[in-house]
Amino acid sequence: MEAAHHVDLTGIAIVALGALLCGYGMERLRQPAIVGYILAGVVLGPAGFGAVDVRDGIEVLAEMGVLMLLFIIGMELSLRAFMQIWKIAVSTTLFQFTASTAVTLGLARFSGVSWELAVLMGFVVAMSSTAVAIKILADIGELRTKVGQITIGVLIAQDIAVVPMMLTIGALGGEGFRWSQIPVMIGSVAFLIGLILYASRGREIHLPFA
């Protein structure tokens, strides 16, 4: 029996070459290379010319690429610096979500869009791509500056804010709050915050079976 899914290596190679060329072109225009990568993906992907039609393989490669990017850049981040600006990061994130939601709700009154969709769009506008933003900061040499550290803090706060945001979206969609998922989400957020607090103290983390 033939496999139900396969990866089109030729299409992937075309997209990779296109991303390389677009990235180089953006750098020549003094723009972040990652903008060229995104542009190549949009133009050559399923939504564009369709150089790659198999979404499963592309999605796996894309997720692996984002994970590798975050891992490599995360090795250079300072958790101690984040702990010094966490108040600014949290307050900025709260202001972003409040302001964007207020704007979309205001526009919804004139456009006839439902207020539930307006809240969703407000959340979407307030969110940022951590991988893209950190890559751009690294490219322009602002990753370790004060502005860069504050930006990273806001991105981390946004990622944590995804938990209540998803609960709100689920309720507005008519599904209601999934109470069984709340302890898991709270536990995940608490673990992440605890890990950040522990690692920011500069202590060594001893793993078993070293």
Helices and strands in the chain: count of H runs, count of E runs: 9, 0
pTM of the model: 0.64
**How much is the pLDDT for 171?**
72
Sorted by sequence, the CB contacts under 8 Å of residue 34 that are 6+ apart come out as 23, 132, 135, 136, 139
Last residue within a domain, chosen from 24, 48, 75: 75
Structurally, the chain folds into a number of domains equal to: 2
Assess if residue 20 is contained within a domain.
yes
207 part of a folded domain = no
Which residue, 34, 52, 75, sits at the end of a domain?
Answer: 75
Same domain, 83 and 117: yes
Q: In this structure, are 88 and 66 located in the same domain?
A: no
54 and 82 fall within a common domain: no
| 88 in the same domain as 16 | no
Percent of the chain with pLDDT over 90: 10
Are 69 and 169 within one domain? no
Among 113-117, 161-165, 173-177, where is mean pLDDT lowest? 173-177
125-140 per-position pLDDT tens digit: 988 888 778 878 877 8
Which residue spans within 10-158 are E strands per DSSP? Answer: none
Q: Which residue has the higher pLDDT, 193 or 122?
A: 122
For residues 68 and 84, membership in a common domain is answered with: no
Same domain? 6 vs 58: yes
Q: Are residues 59 and 124 in the same domain?
A: no
Q: Are residues 84 and 111 in the same domain?
A: yes
Return the exposure string of 112-145: e unless at least 16 CB atoms fall within 10 Å of the residue's CB, then b: eeeeeebbbbbbeebbeebbbbbbbbbeeeebee
Give the domain-ending residue among 25, 48, 75.
75
Q: Can you give the residue range of the structural domain that contains 2?
A: 1-75
- 26 and 93 co-located in one domain: no
Q: With respect to residue 109, please indicate whether it lies within any of the assigned structural domains.
A: yes
Instruction: Output the pLDDT for position 1.
Output: 43
Contact, 131 vs 137, CB < 8 A?
no
In a domain, 209, yes or no: no
Residue 23 lies in a domain: yes
User: Would residue 115 count as lying in a domain?
Assistant: yes
**Predicted local confidence at residue 8, as pLDDT:** 62
Per-residue pLDDT at 99 exceeds 90: yes
